[in-house]
Amino acid sequence: MLRMSIMELVMTTDALTCTPEILAATQADYAKVAHVIPQVEWPVHAPYVHAINTLKREKNAVILAHNYMTPEIFHCVSDFRGDSLQLAQEAARTEAQVIVQAGVHFMAETSKILSPEKTVLIPDLKAGCSLAASITGADVRLLKQKYPGLPVVTYVNTTADVKAESDVCCTSSNAVAVVEDIAREWGVDTVIMTPDEYLALNVAKKTKIKIIAWKGHCEVHERFTAEDIRGYREANPGVVVLAHPECPPDVVAEADFAGSTSAMIGYVGDHRPGRVVLVTECSMSDNVAVNFPDVEFIRPCNLCPHMKRITLAGILKSLQTMQHEVTVDPAIAVRAKASVERMLKVGKPKAVLQAAE
Ligand code: 13P
Ligand code: SF4
């Protein structure tokens, strides 16, 4: 098969073209990602980076980027970067009129729920999530009928109607604290936790509260196995293994540390391991490697097809056309907001999940 160079591929599409002026204007942007993006590829990204950064100022827009965005989005056009909790906190406090969510649909819905007066855009409406697809509001109502008197803790990776039926939300960075807080408030020793079974099982190991779990899974993290982790250690002596708590519990048990995407970044910053493997989505290692060139990243990973729907071209189109606007039925939004705000009140994560203590 004939192989095309990146520049040839660009010529066959409606892609923006690069000029020497654009290259000069984006020199500082390229410097941020030079460690992970070859120079030959930069002319593909540069015109988009330039156009997006100009347009977002004109439109009083902010770009909120999840840690799984590709490096040219994450480091070159986003105004705020973080894990699910940090993005929700920022959506609640930003003063910009327009939020472009560089992440998946449930994140955009959370932004809209927290800032209903703002225009929230997502570049691709199909950027979903296997966890969000695993449960409906009707499922939560049935759970409440089956287990009356127990609070429902719902991961933010869910649709607005699921959040509306729940008592409090959580993210992977505050799940233990949220579970303990709501159990204390309700005076119960058991909570229902939806929809991520593995997050629920991992949290259950860190608290005395009993947890009834739903059987949803993240299609990215469920693919890692404990055998994979043993293989990474064998092939890379001395490697430190950091795993996301959406991984199955036997994977987390083999890891040195488990926590949200931002907790993993924090671990690398605090401990500066010589070699590390991030057992999570592929863009994480690229994004973190930019800030820690002294750390060797071993890179087995799984791609999230939903996160990868967000591209520079999509973000630019979104700003140009003000599409796709994410809306939430106000009657659902008001109840979903109560669950998200109840979570935000729990405040800073009390503890991240740790496998090795
Ligand atoms: P956090 O960034 O909150 O750890 O979530 C990971 C994830 O899979 C988001 O979809
Ligand atoms: Fe959903 Fe997993 Fe993709 Fe996150 S990584 S958006 S949890 S499928």
The reply to whether the predicted model has a pTM over 0.95 is: no
Q: Which residues contact 321 (CB under 8 A, 6 or more apart)?
A: none
Contact in structure between 258 and 245 (CB atoms under 8 Å): yes
Distance of CA 235 to the CA centre of its chain: 29
At 85 the pLDDT is: 87
Q: 10 pLDDT exceeds 50? A: no
**Checking DSSP bridges between strand 275-279 and strand 240-243, what pairing results, if any?**
parallel
Ligand 2 mutation target, pool 218, 280, 282, 283, most atoms within 8 A of CB = 218
| pLDDT confidence tier of residue 13, bands split at 50, 70 and 90 | low
Cβ–ligand 1 distance for 261 under 6 Å, the answer yes
Mean per-residue pLDDT, 57-85? 97
CA-closest residue to ligand 2 atom 2: 218
Q: 6 pLDDT exceeds 80? A: no
What is the strand order of the sheet 275-279 is part of?
257-258, 240-243, 275-279, 296-298
E strands, the chain, are 61-66, 80-82, 98-102, 119-121, 152-155, 168-170, 190-194, 210-213, 240-243, 257-258, 275-279, 296-298
Helix-, strand-, coil-residue percentages of the chain, each rounded to 5: 50, 15, 35
pLDDT digits (tens, 9 = 90+) for 110-168: 999 999 999 999 999 999 999 999 999 999 999 999 999 999 999 999 999 999 999 99
At 318 the pLDDT is: 98
* Both structure tokens of 209: 């509260």
- Please give the distance, rounded to the nearest whole angstrom, from the Cα atom of residue 108 to the centre of ligand 2: 14
Q: Which residues contact 1 (CB under 8 A, 6 or more apart)?
A: none
At 357 the pLDDT is: 34
At 265 the pLDDT is: 96
At 51 the pLDDT is: 98
Q: 1 pLDDT exceeds 90? A: no
* Both structure tokens of 133: 């697809």
CA-closest residue to ligand 1 atom 4: 260
SS3 of 121-150: ECCCCCCCCCCHHHCCHHHHHHHHHHCCCC
Kindly state the helix (H) or strand (E) to which residue 303 belongs, with its residue range: none
pLDDT digits (tens, 9 = 90+) for 234-256: 999 999 999 999 999 999 999 99
Q: What is the distance between the terminal CA atoms of the chain, rounded to a whole angstrom?
A: 52
pLDDT digits (tens, 9 = 90+) for 204-233: 999 999 999 999 999 999 999 999 999 999
CA-closest residue to ligand 2 atom 3: 304
> Quick one: which ligand is closest to 129's CA?
2
Q: Which residues contact 5 (CB under 8 A, 6 or more apart)?
A: none
Mean of the per-residue pLDDT values for the chain? 93
CA-closest residue to ligand 2 atom 1: 129
Domains of the chain as residue ranges with CATH: 6-129+306-321 (3.40.50.10800), 132-216 (3.40.50.10800), 221-298 (3.40.50.10800)
Mean per-residue pLDDT, 318-344? 97
pLDDT digits (tens, 9 = 90+) for 271-326: 999 999 999 999 999 999 999 999 999 999 999 999 999 999 999 999 999 999 99
Biggest CA pair distance of the chain: 66
At 350 the pLDDT is: 43
Cβ–ligand 1 distance for 339 under 6 Å, the answer no
CA-closest residue to ligand 1 atom 9: 84
